[in-house]
Amino acid sequence: MVRYDLVRDEGILVIRPEGRLEAADFQKIAQEIDPYIEANGKLHGIMIEAESFPGWKDFAALVAHLKFVKGHHRNIEKVAAVSDSGFLAIAPKIASHFVQADVRHFPHSQRDEALAWLRE
Based on the structure, what is the number of domains in the chain? 1
Strands 2-7 and 12-17: antiparallel
pLDDT in tens, 75-119: 999 999 999 877 667 777 777 667 888 999 999 999 999 999 999
pLDDT for res 88: 66
What's the CATH number where 26 sits? 3.30.750
- CA–CA dist 62, 89 (Å, integer): 19
* pTM, 2 dp: 0.90
Domain with 105, as residue range(s), is: 2-119
